Chains A and B, each alone.
Chain A
Amino acid sequence: MARSSSSGLTFKLHPLVIVNVSDHYTRVKTQLNPPASVCASGHGSNNGEALIQQNPRVYGCVIGVQRGRTVEIFNSFELLYDPITQTLDRSFLEKKQELYKKVFPDFYILGWYSTGSDTDESDMHIHKALMDINESPVYVLLNPAINHAQKDLPVTIYESELHVIDGIPQLIFVHTSYTIETVEAERISVDHVAHLKPSDGGSAATQLAAHLTGIHSAIKMLNSRIRVLYQFLAAMQKGDIPCDNSLLRQVSSLLRRLPAMESERFQDNFLMEYNDKLLITYLAMITNCSSTMNEMVDKFNTAYDRNTRRGGRTAFM
């Protein structure tokens, strides 16, 4: 049911949205399936419906900004879903929207989200209902099933398009691709929680190790991706895979972008910054040395002090 979108919009997703949706889902799921310690106090009726409630669907709204052809999804909040009428609670949405407008005046509703493994019939109703707020809402679907074999984020973004199927114009969901966009602060906190870096000072050595290992893993990823490309090209050269000219063009344009910066001014600026940092290091070392010297001199004076109260003779030899 889902094909590739042709709207030409680029989508950017912030990790906050992903963590938000996951948290919403985990909360609802845990609340419906209370942990064993509380179960004993008489929640027996749950067991029968346990299977159905294992994967509750949660619904919510995504907000962000759209600038030209780029849609950037920054944040999200929960919504109430009425399973009987299969619609979202409208007044609730408006109330929430007002609240969020006060704190984030730039953001407006871009679409909605839900959890599940694939799009559903009922999703289209909700999608159409949202169309009066935003004429082309996006639908973010998160698959909460934890599958350790999968390499890709289980988040898909759908748009709606009007297609003519069997002579009847219908709205169907189409896939769109998206990139993960982040600000520096977001990246640091995601990194922090993901890898549980040491939060307090630690020694300088551990800090350095943490910093360098982060970069090292990133470089390893880069390396593995390049290897994949390399093997792909080698196979193409050998003839194992049919030649795909568009891919070859992309690879060649990628290679032509190296070296990334090649100009006199860049080198000058770079060296200037390098020297500045070396200067800072030098100053810090001088401060350190003068402080140590100061301490040493004081200790010396205390040890060889001629005016002690014991009558002018130094006692320490």
Chain B
Amino acid sequence: MEGSSTMMARKTWELENNIITVDQPDSNDTIFYYDDTAQSRFQQEKPWANDPHYFKRVKISALALLKMVVHARSGGNIEIMGLMQGKTDGDAIIVMDAFALPVEGTETRVNAQADAYEYMVEYSQTNKLAGRLENVVGWYHSHPGYGCWLSGIDVSTQRLNQQYQEPFLAVVIDPTRTASAGKVEIGAFRTYSEGYKPPDEPISEYQTIPLNKIEDFGVHCKQYYSLDITYFKSSLDSHLLDLLWNKYWVNTLSSSPLLGSADYVAGQISDLAEKLEQAESHLNHSRFGGIVPSSLHRKKEDESQLTKITRDSSKITVEQVHGLMSQVIKDVLFNSVRQSNNKSPNELSDTEPMITS
């Protein structure tokens, strides 16, 4: 089924993503083994207590990712929250599974209340009976539409968690951006303790933050760091997913990201417009007084503001164009065929020629 071009493309992506595939199929599944003694020994040693930057990587299982994204999407515009179970492995935290918590989230905060704790305890107990031996190793919540980062409340919650429930990880998912962009928007974070100044912080991947949240983002963005996320799946999972494609291609072809995300895109564009106005007013001020050395600093800031806006607009445009391409392809595939006794082919004005094989 796969042509050589797909194979090459896949190899290129795997290289870009630094995916090291393990050749023996059996050892792929060793990650699923829960070694109680090793885990409790690790808990005793607490190597993270001395190094705030100890954990650097996160490995998320296919199942956990699927569950988290589906749960996040089902919440719509309401933030949802849940817990993740897993274990640690050197400097990596491994997330094997995730489950949802029955917590009501408002737009500004998601807090775990008493019955959520009760739920968590009961769920963990039943899970241990059913053969899932891992412990809770983190929490996840969603930021529908405004990106993957930790808000002020999230930072304080995570700090608390990292004090009492180590090792603990915070994961944020944005289901709206996932659906709009066609790729999973997810981020994993750990906070620094209060007052700790991180050494030269590597620049994290840029993402657009809506105006009304940008303050919250800016105040706290230096208080946590993000971890690299990789994914893994068992051999049976890979096999099943490959076979799933046989039925799935229909959904891929018929997906219309444009239709679902019109709301979100409109919001993004209006947000961009506001940011542009702000940037414009700044630029006007600095321009008016002529070129004074003291205003050079502010100009640099505005410049980067304008470049940020440019990047945001490109991102939105690219997503839209992708969606448009899908629509055009579908139109050409299914609409350019006319019944032989109807209109002549001259009606097809500007659509591309039908893809012949």
Contact = CB atoms under 8 A, between A and B. Distances in A.
26 contacts: A16-B67, A19-B62, A22-B234, A26-B32, A28-B131, A30-B33, A79-B130, A102-B102, A102-B119, A103-B100, A185-B69, A186-B66, A187-B255, A189-B69, A189-B70, A190-B66, A192-B183, A196-B19, A201-B205, A206-B13, A217-B245, A217-B252, A270-B331, A288-B313, A291-B307, A305-B291
A63 to B, nearest CB: 13
B122 interface: yes
Interface in B154-198: 175, 178-179, 182-184, 186
Interface SS, A side: helix
Contact of A151 (B32, B131, B246): B246
Interface of A: 15-16, 18-20, 22-31, 34-35, 38, 77-80, 92, 95-96, 99, 102-104, 144, 146, 148, 150-154, 179-180, 182-202, 204, 206-224, 258-262, 270, 273-274, 277, 280-281, 283-284, 287-288, 290-291, 294-295, 298, 301, 305, 307, 309
B131 A23 contact: no
A23 B357 contact: no
Contacts of B69: 185-186, 188-189
Q: Which A-B residue pairs are the 7 nearest by beta carbons?
A: A185-B73, A78-B130, A102-B102, A260-B334, A194-B241, A284-B317, A221-B249
A291 B291 contact: no
Q: Which of A38, A191, A200, A220 has the most CB of B within 10 A?
A: A191
Interface residues of B, number: 117
B123 interface: yes
A225 to B, nearest CB: 9
B307 A215 contact: no
Interface in B58-96: 61-63, 65-67, 69-70, 72-73, 96
A38 B34 CA distance: 11
A198 B357 contact: no
A291 B178 CA distance: 28
Interface of B: 1-3, 6, 9-10, 13-14, 16-17, 19, 25, 27, 29-30, 32-35, 61-63, 65-67, 69-70, 72-73, 96-97, 99-102, 119, 122-123, 126-127, 129-133, 175, 178-179, 182-184, 186, 205, 229, 231, 233-253, 255, 257-258, 260, 269, 276, 283, 290-291, 293, 299, 303, 306-307, 309-310, 313-314, 316-318, 320-329, 331, 333-339, 355, 357
Contacts of B246: 151-153, 221
B39 to A, nearest CB: 12
A221 B293 CA distance: 63
B236 A144 contact: yes
B314 A288 contact: yes
Contacts of B10: 195-196
Contact of A189 (B14, B65, B100, B293): B65
B325 A189 contact: no
B309 A188 contact: no
Given A31-B33, A153-B246, A26 B318 contact: no
